[in-house]
Amino acid sequence: MTINTKVPVAAEARFPSPLRFAGCDPTTAIRYRTEHDRVRVYPCITQELDDPETVFERAGPREWITDDPANMTVAIVTCGGLCPGLNDVIRGLVMSLWHHYGVSRVLGIRYGYAGLTPAGLEPFELTPDNVDEIHRDGGSVLGVSRGAQDVAVMAERMREFGISKLFVIGGDGTQRGALELAGVLDGVSVIGIPKTVDNDILWVDQTFGFDTAVDIAARVISDAHVEARSTERGVGIVKVMGRDSGFIAACAALASLEANVVLVPEVPFAMEGADGLLGFLEQRLERKDHAVIVVAEGAGQEHFHGLKVRRDASGNKLHQDIGELLCERIESHFNEIGKPVKLKYLDPGYSVRSAPACGTDRIYCTRLAHAAVHAAMAGKTAMMVSRWSGHYVHVPLELVTQGRRKINPGGSLWRTVLEATGQPCLAEGARNGESCR
């Protein structure tokens, strides 16, 4: 499969990078990246690939930048929902802009793309002093919002502020907006930074905030297990985030090793019958007297029929509440067969979104932020910084916005989940007890 990995350039880099003066010792001099520094898109080469040499640009400082940093106005915007690590990225951007390059005018755009419209709040200036401690708190000091804004209006607003570099922190919808902005802004670098707690952005090993989400969700799963095993015929249900991708559910289940069933959007499941969820729970409770179910919020939508599709301000489909449905169906089923269960239902969604980043996410956020600054200063645009195969790279937004990353039901991650939980196939037509391995 051949893909176009060429990153657009907003402005030619002719100004010497101030990083060249950062070190006097030649042995510790800056290692500048060149256009020849590349990372393979497909690290595992197979005969099925038409172009096994497709490569991404490596991220990092360039020897030449677009202009004198003292004359630059840079802006940062956080869009979509909250996610652990937003403040860490903001802090990393500001620190790198000021201390690496000497940019002294950094604007914080208030409440997402709405802040780039005349109706939005005025931006405020970000400095090392006022971002120094923001990493200790969850959320975003800039605020967030959902919903598209008129691209022409936002572009005009940016011209009024004199913005030459824009850092856009958000998910796939946010990056689509960034791509549109880059298309109408001449000479302005628009750099995306991948943010989604669901970990569903294409062409990135993992999004920031995901480690934190998994840690918190795993602790809640362990709590559900304690509750379930401490009562007769106890069933714990934990609903985690994951509208279209079940990475949090899968990885949190593996992190806790207490889940007996994991339900994700990528794998439909049957509710009734010996091969369905209720039949499996009957067997599990007879054998162990307790069970723990981990369900992603977008799982099981095939069990809702005839309901009107609703969408949020960003155009994302609002899923029906699978957690409530599971509670209702499980409780009624076991009451009907005369073997009632004691249900405990936990939903840690807001606790995850609002949490400060854990240590590994904090490191990742700062490194992504620095890579984004280097890309913008070199004049790159319509691209996202990413960690791919362990390397920091530049990915064109044209590739990022082509879909969403999902669990492969035939891949190693899902196979590991099935082996760790021992759950059978819960699909229509599966033989009783058949493994999905």
Query: Do 107 and 219 share a domain, yes or no?
Result: no
pLDDT of the residue at 274: 72
CA distance 308 to 146: 21
pLDDT of the residue at 427: 62
Query: Do 264 and 279 share a domain, yes or no?
Result: yes
- Residues sharing a CB contact under 8 Å with residue 273, sequence separation 6 or more, in sequence order: 279, 428
Which domain range does residue 349 map to?
210-354+409-421
Query: Do 177 and 230 share a domain, yes or no?
Result: no
Per DSSP, helices labelled H in 185-209 are none
pLDDT of the residue at 436: 42
Q: What does the block give as tokens for 400?
A: 């990022």
Q: Which among 198, 200, 215, 275 is annotated as catalytic?
A: 198
DSSP for 213-278 reads: HHHHHHHHHHHHHHHHHTSTTEEEEEEE--SS--HHHHHHHHHH---SEEE-TTS----SSTTSHH
Asked whether residue 217 is assigned to any structural domain, the reply reads: yes
pLDDT digit string, tens, across residues 372-409: 999 999 999 999 999 999 999 999 999 999 999 999 99
pLDDT digit string, tens, across residues 305-349: 776 666 665 566 678 899 999 999 999 999 999 999 999 999 999
The total of other beta-carbon atoms located within 10 Å of residue 419's CB is 13
Show the CA angle centred on residue 78, arms to residues 173 and 195, nearest 5°. 55
pLDDT digit string, tens, across residues 67-88: 999 999 999 999 999 999 999 9
What is the identity of the amino acid at 27? T
Question: Going by DSSP bridges, is the β-strand pair 64-65/15-16 parallel, antiparallel, or unpaired?
Answer: antiparallel
CA distance 22 to 44: 38
Please say if the pLDDT value at position 361 is more than 70. yes
Query: Do 203 and 292 share a domain, yes or no?
Result: no
Q: What is the mean pLDDT of residues 168-189?
A: 96
Residue bearing tokens 């439909």? 268
CA distance 90 to 365: 9
Among 197-206, 263-272, 306-315, name the one with the lowest average pLDDT.
306-315
Asked whether residue 2 is assigned to any structural domain, the reply reads: no
CA-closest candidate to residue 152, choices 185, 121, 189:
185
pLDDT of the residue at 432: 39
Please say if the pLDDT value at position 125 is more than 80. yes
Read off the DSSP letter of residue 17.
P
Query: Do 20 and 150 share a domain, yes or no?
Result: yes
Q: What is the CATH number of the domain that holds 322?
A: 3.40.50.460
Residue 407 phi/psi, 5° resolution? -70, 135
Among 121-125, 267-271, 313-317, name the one with the lowest average pLDDT.
313-317
How far from chain centre, in Å, is Cα 259? 23
pLDDT of the residue at 118: 95
CA distance 278 to 323: 14
**What is the pLDDT confidence band of residue 109, given thresholds at 50, 70 and 90?**
very high
Query: Do 224 and 194 share a domain, yes or no?
Result: no
Asked whether residue 85 is assigned to any structural domain, the reply reads: yes
Asked whether residue 269 is assigned to any structural domain, the reply reads: yes
Query: Do 138 and 263 share a domain, yes or no?
Result: no
Asked whether residue 436 is assigned to any structural domain, the reply reads: no
Task: Decide if 198 is catalytic.
Answer: yes
pLDDT of the residue at 155: 97
Long-range Cβ pairs for the range 405-409 (8 Å, 24+): 405/199, 405/200, 405/201, 405/202, 405/204, 405/245, 405/247, 406/200, 406/244, 406/245, 406/265, 406/266, 407/245, 407/246, 407/247, 407/250, 407/264, 407/266, 407/267, 408/266, 409/266, 409/267
- Asked if 202 and 113 count as a contact pair (C-beta separation under 8 A), the reply is no
Query: Do 34 and 157 share a domain, yes or no?
Result: yes
CA R_g for the chain: 24
> Chain-wide mean pLDDT for the chain?
91
Query: Do 140 and 224 share a domain, yes or no?
Result: no
pLDDT of the residue at 369: 98
CA distance 275 to 437: 15
Please say if the pLDDT value at position 108 is more than 70. yes
Give 69: exposed, middle or buried? Use CB within 10 Å, 0-12, 13-18, 19+: buried
Asked whether residue 96 is assigned to any structural domain, the reply reads: yes
Q: What is the mean pLDDT of residues 410-436?
A: 74
Question: Going by DSSP bridges, is the β-strand pair 189-194/38-40 parallel, antiparallel, or unpaired?
Answer: unpaired
pLDDT of the residue at 138: 95
Give 267: exposed, middle or buried? Use CB within 10 Å, 0-12, 13-18, 19+: buried
Q: What is the CATH number of the domain that holds 188?
A: 3.40.50.450
Query: Do 178 and 105 share a domain, yes or no?
Result: yes
Read off the DSSP letter of residue 81.
S
pLDDT digit string, tens, across residues 14-62: 999 998 655 555 555 688 999 889 998 887 665 455 555 689 999 999 9
- Asked if 266 and 301 count as a contact pair (C-beta separation under 8 A), the reply is no
Q: What is the mean pLDDT of residues 118-126?
A: 96
Q: What does the block give as tokens for 359?
A: 């240590």
The count of domains in the chain is 2
CA distance 338 to 5: 60
**What is the pLDDT confidence band of residue 289, given thresholds at 50, 70 and 90?**
very high
pLDDT of the residue at 437: 36
Query: Do 159 and 38 share a domain, yes or no?
Result: yes
Residue bearing tokens 């809640």? 220
Query: Do 203 and 297 share a domain, yes or no?
Result: no
Asked whether residue 343 is assigned to any structural domain, the reply reads: yes
pLDDT of the residue at 402: 93
Show the CA angle centred on residue 388, arms to residues 385 and 389, nearest 5°. 160
pLDDT of the residue at 52: 56
Asked whether residue 162 is assigned to any structural domain, the reply reads: yes
